[in-house]
Amino acid sequence: MSDTTAYQGAGATPYEPGFGDYVQLLKPRVMSLVVFTALVGLLVAPVHLHPVEAFSAILFIALGAGASGALNMWWDADIDAVMKRTARRPVPAGKVAGGEALGLGMALSGISIVMLWLATNWLAAALLAFTIFFYAVVYSMWLKRSTPQNIVIGGAAGAFPPMIGWVAATGNVSVEAFLMFALIFMWTPPHFWALALFMKEDYHTAGVPMLTVTHGRKATRAHILVYTLLLVPVALGAAVTSIGGPFTLAVAVVLNAWFVVGAWRIWRRDEAVAEADKYAVEKAFFRFSLLYLFLHFAAFLVELALKSAGLGGW
Amino acid sequence: MTFRPEHELHKRRFSRNLGLGLTLVAFVVLVFALTVVKVQRGDPLQGYDHTYQPALLPKVETQP
């Protein structure tokens, strides 16, 4: 019996997932951030890879991140189904079976780790393996449903790519790689808590213990301010290392001043005011947080270009 | 002899099959390119197949 005869006997036309549905499992928007930060980590490193090796390194780091996204979608399908923001993802929408997401995630995890090892070095591959494990197991399976600190600790998974890019080039971890990691790690909580403030029903409906659900919105506003203040020395610290320079430091000062002002405004507001203007300040802070991270890493690249022209660097 | 008309199921699977096919071709090209780069640069080969590996030779004791 061929697949078409089996199909003819099946009755109603089932949805046939296209290639794009499988790509959606890899969370392409998250992958774009991974590609950018990993690329910056790799380019600002003092050791330069052959372009083919560099391309392979970025590709397999992104693929590993995509694999962890597929594993997350397999595990969190029940939560995703009840949240407006995630209900249209391929598994809860019924486009791709959960088992397929698991299989794709496992296969791509193995391929990306082995290929990154072959293309660069074992330490970069080990860090990628740890990142996938951290996101899929530590964050998705454990922290996300059990503690309001889920975003704080789980943020490490998204912070590893620039460090892996650096390690792929140099073969070791240095203070610059650690500070690029710390920049994303400290940025993640304010970014997601701002989102949680204006997507308030989603996490509550799904029963995810976000800080807004467990400790209330006032406490969340205070946490956003505290983490934003803690982010400042990390961002300025990165700007005074070998990957920074006067330009990076100036960018860091402006971005962090702006970010702190935004966090301060969020902290000063109460729910009645926020409801009245439909969370305009929180939404603006969230949008700026995306720009904040992009511009920080872009500044490292500009500094690199200035250095090669004999202008930048310390 | 005539070809049977393409089944509607195969039409709907076309994008998936094409995407997977192109991905596999790209992967083969990438592995080939990586191999060329690694071999041309003469990275140390750690295999046991016909490769001279001085690091694996036993140390020779010498009198001071």
CB contact under 8 A, A19 and B20: yes
pLDDT tens digit sequence for B40-54:
887 555 555 555 666
Residue B54 lies in a domain: no
Residue B17 lies in a domain: yes
Residues of B in contact with A119 (CB under 8 A): 34
Residue B20 lies in a domain: yes
3-state secondary structure of A21: helix
Residue B53 lies in a domain: no
Residue B5 lies in a domain: yes
Which amino acid is located at A158 in the chain?
G
Q: Are A80 and A91 in contact (CB under 8 A)?
A: yes
The confidence score (pLDDT) of residue B13 equals 82
A6 touches B: beta carbon within 8 Å: no
Q: What is the mean pLDDT of chain A?
A: 91
pLDDT tens digit sequence for A187-206:
999 999 999 888 877 777 88
φ/ψ of residue A85, rounded to 5: -65, -30
pLDDT tens digit sequence for A254-308:
999 999 999 999 999 988 888 888 889 999 999 999 999 999 999 999 999 999 9
CB contact under 8 A, A52 and B34: yes
pLDDT tens digit sequence for A93-126:
989 999 999 999 999 999 999 999 999 999 999 9
Is the pLDDT assigned to residue B61 strictly greater than 70? no
Q: Compute the distance between CA of residue A36 and CA of residue B26 in angstroms, rounded to an integer.
A: 21
Residue B23 lies in a domain: yes
For residue B40, what are the domain limits?
Answer: 1-45
Percent of chain A at pLDDT above 70?
A: 96
pLDDT tens digit sequence for A59-74:
999 999 999 999 999 9
Q: How many domains does chain B fold into?
A: 1
- Tell me how crowded residue A284 is: count the other CB atoms within 10 A of its CB: 14
Residues 78-137 of A with CB under 8 A from B: 118-119
Residue B32 lies in a domain: yes
